[in-house]
Structure 1
Amino acid sequence: MADIKEPENTIVMETTKGTVFIELFPDIAPKHVDRIKKLTRERFYDGCTFHRVIEGFMAQTGDRSGTGREGSSHGSLKSEFSNNQHLRGTCSMARGNNLDSADSQFFICFGDCPFLNGQYTVWGQVIEGMESIDRLKRGEPARDPDKIISMKVVADVN
């Protein structure tokens, strides 16, 4: 079982490849963490595919259409860049060309991605289950892509 420090700031994500625990970083990205928790509690992420999975780079999800072109009904967030590095297991918000265009889509880094530092909002870190992310089918999109079965805030799990 994952070493969970704060159940209110930990996500458990059930994927088609296994369970992943993510520690949230409200101190460095409070608005993004609030958005992730809001969408999680709305069950927005349940059923989302990993629509962009690039070997050695990252796995992206958070678009209910599975195309990578859509988001939630909550609109864009202002960036919250930090000194946190994009390392293996880092969870960061995807965005368009506009630095303040993150909404619901996020990615998890397979390895260190220093070229992303200071350009994308880091909001969490995989603390257990990275091997499940490693097993996701690759592609843009992958054929028969893997999915998030369910995503919950640990404090809400009975």
Structure 2
Amino acid sequence: MGRKNSEPNSILSNRLILLLVFLVSCGLAYVFLSAVTRSRSTSVSEFGIGSSLVLVGENVVGGCCKGIEHLELWGSAVKWGSEFKLSTSEGCCNACKSMCTGKDGPCLCDSWVFCGNRQACGSKFGECWLKKQKDSLAPEKQEAGPLGGTVIWTSGLIFGKGEGIIGLETEYGTLHVKLFPDCAPHTVAYILELLPLRHCAGCQFYRAESRGQSWDSEGNHIKNAGFGPPFALIQGTLEAQGTPFNKLPIEDCPILRRGSVALIGSGPEFFISLADHSEWKQEYTVFGSVLPEDMDVAEKIATLPTLSDVWNNVHVSVLEKPVPILLRRINKSQQD
């Protein structure tokens, strides 16, 4: 009798175990499918419209996709905004980047235009126009809206491999600088305004400091060493005499690496870093990077004769003779 009474309990127990196994299996299947879906979504995000990592030459720049408000860039449309609407300017910027893979050949898209103010844009709200400039270093732009009103658009530039390179020409050689308009659009716009000037009187390097004993030749900080002085940089100004300078906004500030070209505050003072400066956090607007093969020019300037000085209780090395800078445009064909 006892044995008979235990059989139903045994059957019930087995059924409960099977049910539990089934529920666990469903849970594991759900987790697996969710992971696959997230992975697929991440892949689209990283390499497609939502990309936050973009190949620039041989470097990867992350998290930059900025534009300038109240600016409308003209140019030939490669994607019509009336048929292509997005929710953010960053999405529009990334859509342009997705057409610039970093492979050989020019980018299909080098500028984007987005209307993001629902009230001002009306039916044009969300329109994302992807365009191609005749000259990306001298983009066509509309300064005023209809009847002289405020421009309702936000625009930005994208420079692909071999594009967006300017030269800082000195008597010791030319520093070729790759500009980052997606990180520092306002600063890059100012630099592009200087390019047409035949002379940049007043543009010069006036401070030069070597890596000393704190950083190795690759720019890596040496363990337990100090952080200067010397501070591993060459510093100068990009203010042309006779040309009014308006303070620039503080923009995207990634960690400084060897070769980074950064604005100090609102400009026009700037510097080129000869080493990695993670200790400076994200204090400066990085608007470009010197091509690796030209860093020997920066190193040469850093070894020129200097005088000791004190700025705000900081010991610095000032060049005995400032080094004049001439800004000039570099065409892609000159880099090939």
Q: TM-score range by the shorter chain?
A: 0.7 to 0.9
What is the percentage of aligned positions where both structures have the same residue? 27
In structure 2, do the counterparts of structure 1 residues 73 and 133 end up closer, same or farther at CA, with 3 Å as the change threshold?
same
Kindly indicate whether the alpha-carbon contact (under 8 Å) linking 2:206 and 2:321 is maintained by their aligned counterparts in 1. no
- The aligned amino acid for 2:324 is K
SS of 2:245 mapped into structure 1: coil
SS of 2:319 mapped into structure 1: coil
Alignment correspondent of 1:113: 277
Whether 2:251 is the aligned partner of 1:87: answer no
CA RMSD of aligned residues (A): 3.0
In structure 2, do the counterparts of structure 1 residues 46 and 71 end up closer, same or farther at CA, with 3 Å as the change threshold?
closer
In structure 2, do the counterparts of structure 1 residues 74 and 113 end up closer, same or farther at CA, with 3 Å as the change threshold?
same
- The aligned amino acid for 2:172 is K
Distance 1:146 1:49 in 2: 5
Distance 1:47 1:85 in 2: 29
The Cα shift of 1:36 comes to: 1.6
SS of 1:115 mapped into structure 2: helix
The Cα shift of 1:22 comes to: 0.5
Kindly indicate whether the alpha-carbon contact (under 8 Å) linking 1:29 and 1:122 is maintained by their aligned counterparts in 2. yes
Distance 1:111 1:103 in 2: 21
**Equivalent of 1:33 in 152, 163, 188:** 188
Alignment correspondent of 2:245: 74
Q: Which has the higher contact order (CA 8 A, sep 6+)?
A: 1
Distance 2:260 2:170 in 1: 17
Whose helix proportion is higher, 1 or 2?
2
The Cα shift of 1:141 comes to: 2.4
SS of 1:85 mapped into structure 2: coil
In structure 2, do the counterparts of structure 1 residues 138 and 73 end up closer, same or farther at CA, with 3 Å as the change threshold?
farther
Distance 1:44 1:107 in 2: 20
SS of 2:161 mapped into structure 1: coil
The Cα shift of 1:38 comes to: 1.3
SS of 1:151 mapped into structure 2: strand
Of structures 1 and 2, the larger Rg is shown by: 2
Kindly indicate whether the alpha-carbon contact (under 8 Å) linking 1:55 and 1:138 is maintained by their aligned counterparts in 2. no
Kindly indicate whether the alpha-carbon contact (under 8 Å) linking 1:51 and 1:60 is maintained by their aligned counterparts in 2. yes
Kindly indicate whether the alpha-carbon contact (under 8 Å) linking 1:72 and 1:103 is maintained by their aligned counterparts in 2. no
Aligned length: 144
In structure 2, do the counterparts of structure 1 residues 87 and 144 end up closer, same or farther at CA, with 3 Å as the change threshold?
same
- The aligned amino acid for 2:298 is I
The Cα shift of 1:32 comes to: 0.9
Correspondences of 1:1-158 after superposition (within 5 Å): 5-7=161-163, 9-43=164-198, 45=200, 48-56=203-211, 57-62=232-237, 73-82=244-253, 84-95=254-265, 102-127=266-291, 128-136=293-301, 137=304, 139=306, 140-148=317-325, 150-155=326-331
Greater shift, 115-124 or 136-145, is seen at 136-145
The Cα shift of 1:89 comes to: 0.5
- The aligned amino acid for 2:297 is S
Distance 1:130 1:110 in 2: 8
The Cα shift of 1:90 comes to: 0.3
The Cα shift of 1:120 comes to: 0.6
TM-score, normalised via structure 2 length: 0.38
TM-score, normalised via structure 1 length: 0.76
The Cα shift of 1:72 comes to: 5.7
